[in-house]
Structures are given as C-alpha cells and as structure tokens.
Structure 1
C-alpha cells in the first residue's frame, strides 16, 4: 500500500513506463469503443459512455479524497481546475443531455490540449503510485471518451465550433486567472510555463506565450475541423444514429 500512496518522483518521460502507460490505457479505451460500436441498442451505447465518462471523473475526485486523507492536499496544485480535470465532467453532461454543441466544445479542448499531455506528460510519480493511474485515466481515456461520440454516436463538428470553443476557453481562463492570483497557483499555466519538456518550450516568455496560445488554439481547432468539413463534402455511408444527436 505504501508504494501506492508514497510519492516517489521516479517517472521519466519517454521511458518504457511512459510508453506502456499510454498504450495499455489506449487499448482499454479502444475496447470500450469496440463494445459500443458492436452494441445494437442506442440506449446501451449511451449508457456505456455515461458510466465510462463518470468513472474517469471519479478518478479525479479520488485523487482529492486521497490527498485530503493523507494531509497532503495542496490548494495550489490539487484543485481540479486544469482542462484535463474538468473535461470528463463536462463531457459527461454533454452525453447525458445529448448535447452535440457541448460535445463540440470539449472535443476541441481535449483533442487540441489533452492529447499532447500524453506525449509530454507532467507526471512525476511512477507505477504503482495512484497518481500514475489517475494521470493516464484522465489523459488517455478522456481522449477515447470524446472520440466515442464521433465513432459510435456519429457526432460531427461544425465550423462555428472553432470560435465557440475558443470563446468558452477564454471565459474559463478568465475565471481561473484570479483564482491563481488568490492562491499563488498556476492552473491552466496562466502564470508561468509548466516544468519539464512541453510544447510551451516553443513559445515566448510570459505573458507573450498566452497570446501565442490564442493563435495556436485557432490553428489547432481549425485543423481538427477540416476532416469534418471534407466529410460533409464527400459523405461516406455510415450507420445512422440520428436519434442520439441533439442539433443546435
């Protein structure tokens, strides 16, 4: 039990442990998509997804509970205010209320932001620490969960999702920034760049990298939309799940 709870600071980026973590959780997630795709019942497809996304969110809550019980909770780092932390809960609401619009926002956030965290993780603790499990659950399985909406439920992006996603991302940042100042924290990396090797290393110093990230977000959101644009121009014959969609 001590190895599960005690901090070890042994994780190394691009190590076999890193690669195995990503691949193993990705395989599990792909299995969930396969089960959903094979299921003939639209209600069952959605039920599987609701349990899946809620379980992902619970892993984040479990971290808070564990740290509080150990007396190691740090309000500067452990409040779930990073995009990767809040995305599973928002995604659960999107699927529960059958909101394609909300799914579109979270799809952009996750595919543009969370997915890169699998290649440049800020994880510090190695297996079998609980944070090792939580990190991959949050960062790998949430990607699988949002792809589920596309592959199984036939959700599609619209061009205006680019700007709606950017708008709400900025609103979220405006809410989090004063919290950072109050707590002397760095949620969403709005105060300084994260430690370790990340995509932030390619950007300028604060506050210029914040402005640069706006353009990066627009570029990534646009690239994410392009396949859906060409999909509409050259529609492929796919199984219809229109009863699960909720248009604007």
Structure 2
C-alpha cells in the first residue's frame, strides 16, 4: 500500500521537480500541444477503466473532483491557450492539486498499480501544465482570471454539495474531511469549508498580485 512520505512518495516529488525544470528549459512552440496529447493518451484509459462494470462506483468513478476538472481545463488550456482555461489550471493546479503532493489523501496500492498511476498522473500533469503555461508559454494570471476561478469554484462547490448528498458521495471532500490533510486544521463541517474558501481567496490573490504589478510596471 502507498504510504505518504514514504519511498514512492519521495520519488513522485523528485519526478515532479525534474519534469518541471525540463518544461522550463525546453520551451518550444509545440510543447503545449504535445503535453496535451500526452495527458489525454495517458489518463483517458485510466478514466475509462474506472467506469467499467467491475470498477464502477458512483462515489468515486465520475470525474467530478476539482482535480479532475483541473486536468480537463489543463488540456483545453494547453491546446488553445485560452485565458479562462489557463486561469483555472493555474489557480486549481498550483494550490488545490498541489495538496496531493504535500498531504496525499491516496491510500491505495503502491506503484505500479493503475490506481497509483492514475492518481499521480491527474495531479502531476495538472501541475506541469500550470508551470508550463505560466512560466513557459508566458500566459500570466490576472484579476479577471482570479474572479472567474472564484466564481467557477463556488458554482462547482454548490453543485457538488447537492450531488454528494443525493449520491452518498464525497467529491471534493465537501461533505466530510479525508483525514490527514490540511483541512484537519480548519475545524468541523461546515466550518472547514468556510475557512478553506476564505483561505483560497486570499492565497489566490497573493499569487495573482506579483504578475499584475509586473504587468502594470511594464505598461508604464
């Protein structure tokens, strides 16, 4: 079984840093679309597998986690360089998705099981896309993207709270904490949702401000 902060977790962290560095060094006109194709080719079979009769469970098989949606946004952003999709990839990818690397909720089989590869593929590919789009392709976050991401996240949270209640699921950990995550610091339900929302809004503002200030200085 996978153990947080164990050997395989350390290898994942090293792979993340190494590939991120390569994406920053080898920046070409076709890198974005190649990465988009690789993500689809690698992750699509895993997603299909989770929806087969032997694996299907409404509580986890649907791609409704915010990390799943972030990966979809990442593919769209890589292929089109859409500012909206890039904003979602940046904010979701470098904060929420990154939590998997810092405090992984995964407790399944270790490498090379397909569940291990799917879990880490979703998270690493999204973070790599965010790194490439922001510092490789040079698509910087701005306050419009910040507001769009806040609105999209709020809509997703409301919809998923209702879906979770109907399906007896816990997508996004909105109805219960996973345990062993940063959410443990934020109090019981529903207080931890309010604290997390306020913290996200603040952190996203902090990682937007340096880019907008730099853009304002360059325009002057």
Q: TM-score, normalised by structure 2?
A: 0.88
Residues 112-123 of structure 1: pairs in structure 2 closer than 5 A: 112-123=95-106
Q: TM-score, normalised by structure 1?
A: 0.79
Decide whether the 8 Å contact of 2:63 with 2:69 is kept in 1: yes
Structure 1 unpaired stretches of 5+: 1-9, 40-44, 236-248
Decide whether the 8 Å contact of 1:126 with 1:132 is kept in 2: yes
Give 1:31's match in structure 2, choosing from 13, 16, 22: 22
Aligned CA RMSD, in angstroms, stands at 2.0
For 1:16 and 1:118, locate their aligned partners in 2 and report how far apart those are by CA, in whole Å: 13
Q: Secondary structure at the match of 2:192?
A: helix
Decide whether the 8 Å contact of 2:66 with 2:172 is kept in 1: yes
Residue by residue over 1:187-245, the C-alpha shift from the partner in whole angstroms, topping out at 9 and shown as x without a partner, is 011111113x111011111111111111011111011112213422555xxxxxxxxxx
Decide whether the 8 Å contact of 2:134 with 2:140 is kept in 1: yes
Query: Match for residue 59 of structure 2?
Result: 76
Give the length in aligned residue pairs.
217
Highest CA radius of gyration, 1 or 2? 1
Query: Match for residue 66 of structure 1?
Result: 49
Q: Secondary structure at the match of 2:39?
A: helix
Which stretch shows the higher mean deviation, 17-26 or 55-64? Answer: 55-64
Q: Of the two structures, which has the highest relative contact order with CA contacts closer than 8 Å and spacing of 6 or more?
A: 1
Query: Match for residue 139 of structure 1?
Result: 123
Give 2:203's match in structure 1, choosing from 215, 220, 243: 220
1:73 is displaced (CA, Å) by 2.1
Give 2:6's match in structure 1, choosing from 8, 15, 22: 15
Query: Match for residue 176 of structure 1?
Result: 160
For 1:136 and 1:58, locate their aligned partners in 2 and report how far apart those are by CA, in whole Å: 15
1:29 is displaced (CA, Å) by 4.3
1:20 is displaced (CA, Å) by 0.7
